[in-house]
Structure 1
Amino acid sequence: MIAESMSWVQALVLGAVQGLTEFLPISSSAHLRIVSEVFFGDDAGASFTAVTQLGTEAAVLLYFARDIGRIVAAWFRGIADKSQRDTLDYRMGWYVIFATIPIGVLGFVFKDAIRTGARNLWIIATLLIVFAVVIAIAEKVGRQTRPIEKLTTRDGLVMGAAQCLALIPGVSRSGATTSAGLFMGLTRAAAVRFSFLLAIPAVTASGLFSLPDAFEPAGEGLQASGSQLVVATLVAFVLGYASIAWLLRFVENHSLYWFVGYRIVVGFAVLGLLATGVVAAN
């Protein structure tokens, strides 16, 4: 089937959805899939999702520029000089590297399944609800006693493994990694902050890898032009930056239960639309 051309309204709306939802534990890929199906009657596509994520990852790079620069510099200093290795920034560099390997491998191996079967709305709606429960349990049982200065290799590996679950729309990258951090005893702010840093290499690589497919998509779904992709990505960047600033302030004084409730409501709403035939699963 020939892909349908995406309109400018669709590109702007979906870019805004990407920017607003990427960093919240509610799954941006699920929201792009749901919004594009419910309001536009088609799927924006996994490639559109991955490419517009470059905008939100650029927002992370800008917001955490000082942290990233400090970590990279410390990592290179530590590589060159053993006496420079006893710092959090040096270790943080290795934590991000080690934690990124699992999603890189699994994302490459299962890339076709991720772009097709995993985008079924029955699966997405169910996972919104299931992982809302996981987040709620993490919020409830997590001791939240360890700040980011106490981050360990084990924390990084566990959160990196959890990040792999985000390959399936509906799970949420930030939701999975933050929950894993809470289960490990990290404070909410520490888990969210490391979650941001952890997402940078994986999401950037995914977006760059998907560029050819996004500009020349094949099969079903909405087809965005090059200019629409650029504008949607810019919109995602601006709103993504605002979303980062808001979320970091929010988690300092509020629990994740707000997002749990939202996920459950959206999940059951989509299940209702599917059950009544208002929207199609694929």
Structure 2
Amino acid sequence: MREAQALATAAGLPVLEARMLLGHLTGYSRTQLITRDDEALTPARREALAALVARRLAGEPMAYLLGEREFFGRVFRVTPDVLIPRPDTEIAVEAALARLHGRARPHLLDMGTGSGILALTLALERPDAEVWATDVSPAALAVAQDNAARLGAGNVRFLRSDWYAALPEAVRFDLIISNPPYIAAADPHLVQGDLRFEPVDALTDHGDGLGDLRTIAAGAPARLAPGGWLLVEHGYDQGEAARGLLAAAGFAEISTARDLGGNERCSGGRLAT
């Protein structure tokens, strides 16, 4: 393993990333990599490592190379069909759990579920809940369903839907949550860093970044039970706009939570009873 790690670092990969790729390739834990330091890679694994190193040096995110990322203390499978889970989105989970406190057997809806991090985390934190998870992408839904099976979230119903379009008319929810595409089409970040490799339709509405937020806010009152909540993640500079959309849709008790960097990140409001 020492030789393989040396080859990876000599190519320009940081030591930690080299160890992570080796662990992924071999299935060895960090301790096993140390105790088996003199073990040589097979030719096939050496070739596979070289391919992973090349992809990483080209900028491909580690989450896609490893096929997983931790979120809210759980490991989720991720592929290039879904966004990479980010710690800032945990703010939305915390906001949702706070609003559900004291409410038994809540009905929840996560729209644009992607890998399922919001729907599944809420389902596992609140096993008494009935959770719906929708996405317009069949590939994303397949990843979310696989994560549900892996994590044992049996109280989640998956549905392919373009926002509210495929939801049964009679269904009402106590809380709707979404991390929709909110990056403006002209934002230079779309061609920088990890975003270059993530699904563009999950990042941007191909407009001003507020299009999907408008659709979600405007449609939520017809899908919420009296006193139900809507929570949406948004860009660091979209808090004021998000609060305005919620107010225009008739929501009260509107507030915005800040992420780990102190940026406005998740806004929500309550439907009047």
> Which TM-score band (shorter chain)?
under 0.3
Q: Which has the higher strand share?
A: 2
Higher relative contact order (CA 8 A, sep 6+): 1
Q: Which has the higher helix share?
A: 1
- Which of structures 1 and 2 has the bigger CA Rg? 2
